[in-house]
Amino acid sequence: MKSYLEISDVGISFETEQGSFEALSRVNLRIEKGEFVSLIGHSGCGKSTVLNLVAGLLEPTLGGIILDGREVAGPGPERAMVFQNHVLLPWLSVQQNVALAVAQVESDKRAVAERVDYYLSLVQMDHASQKMPHELSGGMKQRVGIARALSLSPKVLLMDEPFGALDALTRAHLQDALMAIQAELGNTVIMITHDVDEAVLLSDRIVMMTNGPSATVGEILTVDLPRPRDRVALADDPHYHKLRQQVLRFLYEKQRKVTPLKAAGQVRSKLRA
């Protein structure tokens, strides 16, 4: 049985002055419709490369990607991106920024306005529709970015560390908002994160990448926590902590990348010598 999104034996290499650099090697991943999947791994493990391949911004050297029965051969509105930086056009209002995206898939002016209003309301930004980007906080800008991506009614929502630049409280509010939106719309989501707690809280599955070069899928963890999820309740949930520990063990034991710092005493004795 075929999956909604199939990444099959995908590899990609880049030519450098030193020769060919293999960034990804034989990546295989199947994602079902409505599933929320997080990619996690150390810097340089190819997470963003995988996302860009699914978005059609990069072409694989080997293998292929099938979305809903059709090969991904370039960018398209059925795959919408949300970046860590909001990428809002500063000379357009909140409403105009979202309308610009909607106009790619809808020509009727009334339909465009209705869709813009709906998605701004969904992310609780309808009250700020006439504001300019410089008048918004970081969290508000990211809400607009999410509304803009969702307004395309994409088959897959691709999120590249969408909350990484936000403070902890704002990030928590947006994580909760994203869970509520996904519950309402049933989006298929692929999200890159470096935050283990975020991955466990939001995901149906967590894809753990091996270190690069020649990075690939190391392990896949099913997050079998019931939905809706409450971060306060999960803080005391033993199974939540078990899942979290499995991800940490992969990252810091199986794929350790940073050599632990030496004790201060060792450093001082070495300096004296």
How far apart CA 99 and CA 92 sit, in angstroms, is 10
Q: Match 């990448």 to its residue by tokens.
A: 209
- Give the CA distances from residue 26 to residues 22, 23, 85, 214, in Å, rounded to whole numbers and listed in that order: 11, 10, 30, 9
What's the confidence (pLDDT) of residue 85? 80
Measure the N-to-C terminal CA separation of the chain; round to a whole number of Å: 66
Give the CATH fold of the 1-78+154-236+245-258 domain: Rossmann fold (3.40.50)
- On whether the CB atoms of residues 55 and 82 are closer than 8 A, the answer is no
pLDDT for the residue 92: 95
The domains of the chain are located at 1-78+154-236+245-258, 87-153
pLDDT value for 253: 87
CB 87 within 8 A of CB 168: no
Q: What is the pLDDT of residue 160?
A: 94
Q: What's the pLDDT score for residue 19? A: 84
pLDDT at 259: 52
Instruction: For residue 25, report the phi and psi dihedrals to the nearest 5 degrees.
Output: -135, 115
Question: What pLDDT, on a 0 to 100 scale, did the predictor assign at position 180?
Answer: 92
Q: pTM value?
A: 0.89
Q: What is the DSSP string of 234-246?
A: HTT-HHHHHHHHH
Please, are residues 146 and 191 in contact by the beta-carbon 8 Å criterion? no
pLDDT tens, per residue, the chain with 273 residues: 789 999 999 999 998 888 888 999 999 999 999 999 999 999 888 999 999 999 999 999 999 999 999 999 999 989 999 988 878 999 999 999 999 999 988 888 999 999 999 999 999 999 999 999 999 999 999 999 999 999 999 999 999 999 888 889 999 999 999 999 999 999 999 999 999 999 999 999 999 999 988 999 999 999 999 999 999 999 999 999 999 999 999 999 887 765 555 554 555 555 555
